[in-house]
Amino acid sequence: MKVLLAFNEPPKSEEFDSVDIVSEQAIKDEVDAVQTSLLSLGHQVECLAIDHIEKDLKKINQFKPDLIFNLVEGYNGDAGMEMGIAGLWELKGITYTGNSALTLGLAQNKAMAKKLFQAGNILTPAFEVYERIPKKTALSYPLIVKPSREDASLGITQDSIVHDLQQMQRAVSEILKQYSQPALVEQFIDGREFNISILGNNPIHILPISEIDFSNLDKGYYSITTYEAKWMPEHPLYKKTPPRCPAEISATLKRRLEDIALAVYRLLRGRDYGRVDVRMDSNDEIYVLEYNPNPDISPDAGFIRSLKAGGYEYEDFVSIVLKEAAKRKANG
């Protein structure tokens, strides 16, 4: 097939005033890995960094792809446009891989997704959303404060955990200033953290579950996956919070986690591949934090770690995702 590999060019370092650019630059590794697999599978591939819609559409019209392998996570540095680009593919009538524009939009708006979880009787931490600095809260401390429309642990640090109103106000103010979006304030669930990766549509494959190991954290550090712990290999928090895949869990807990992840995937109409992040408290209650559509698929990412633990090679993954998209194209 003729496959257009579409992605967003990472912002230039001078356009970013924080370490947040580290996660954005992971797209280069994704593109290289997917392109190599597509070529190995015998497909004709054209790579295109989406940065100027009118110009990009001309190139797409010239190439006339059968499918788009969609790795676009935003537009000109705006992650909120991820769903917009997927919507553009739909308007153009071009079948693309990964989650739909609707699912991308719902999942990115964490508050909206949590309301859907609640409506679907899926347990999620109690929360409030603030567009300005709050004067009070109905939630019980401790709380965690984070951006309401970001992924990749952007904006999450050890200071995100707050124990009183003054700390919460300071954390909310930082989110409003740094990310220009509402702050999501959640009940902090102190406990174990699991990532459940999902592949395919019919059938749906739940890959081996991964757990973040917090046992080596120094005293005084909260058991959370901060931005540094997720993206900066030389940072102490990265080294002291390694993922364990497959997680050492009982068969009963494994089934519970799989059932919850499947319910989330179906509720938000996930497709092709995705990841559900949860935490479990001391009473073994499982709380869904979020659904991550089109998660990072660079070769050393958590999703690929689960994939390999399940016996799949990277090329297998690309082939499965492409075949799922081809089925949609064939079915109109």
What is the rounded distance in angstroms from the CA atom of residue 274 to the CA atom of residue 126?
23
CA pair distance 281, 295, nearest whole angstrom:
25
Q: What per-residue confidence (pLDDT) applies to 238? A: 84
Residue pLDDT, tens place only, 211-264 = 999 999 999 899 998 888 887 888 888 889 999 999 999 999 999 999 999 999
Residue with tokens 């954005």: 24
Decide: residue 279, CB within 10 A, 0-12 exposed, 13-18 middle, 19+ buried.
buried
Placement of tokens 């209650």 in the chain: 285
Polymer length of the chain: 332
Q: What is the pLDDT of residue 199?
A: 98
Domains 2-97 and 126-187 share a fold: no
Closest CA to 99 of 260, 259, 295, 257: 295
What are the residue boundaries of the structural domains of the chain, listed by start?
2-97, 126-187, 192-330
End-to-end CA distance of the chain: 17
How sure is the predictor about 282, in pLDDT bands with cuts at 50, 70 and 90?
very high
CB-neighbour burial class of residue 294 (10 A; exposed 0-12, middle 13-18, buried 19+): buried
Q: What pLDDT, on the 0 to 100 scale, is given for residue 68?
A: 98
pTM, 2 dp:
0.93
pLDDT at position 126, please? 98
Could you tell me which CATH number the domain at 2-97 has? 3.40.50
pLDDT at 257: 98
Domain 192-330, CATH number (from 3.10.580.10, 3.30.470.20, 3.40.50.360, 3.10.180.10): 3.30.470.20
Residue 62 pLDDT greater than 60, yes or no: yes
Q: Tell me how far the alpha carbon of residue 244 is from its chain's centroid.
A: 18
Identity of the amino acid at 232: M
Residue that wins the pLDDT comparison between 22 and 332: 332
pLDDT at 185: 98
Per CATH, the architecture of 126-187 is what? 2-Layer Sandwich (3.30)
**Position 56 pLDDT exceeds 60:** yes
Residue 104 has pLDDT above 80, yes or no: yes
Q: How far is CA 205 from CA 58, 275, 308, 319, in A?
A: 37, 12, 13, 14
Cα-to-chain-centroid distance, residue 279: 16
pLDDT in tens, 127-138: 999 999 999 999
Q: Can you give the pLDDT at residue 22?
A: 62
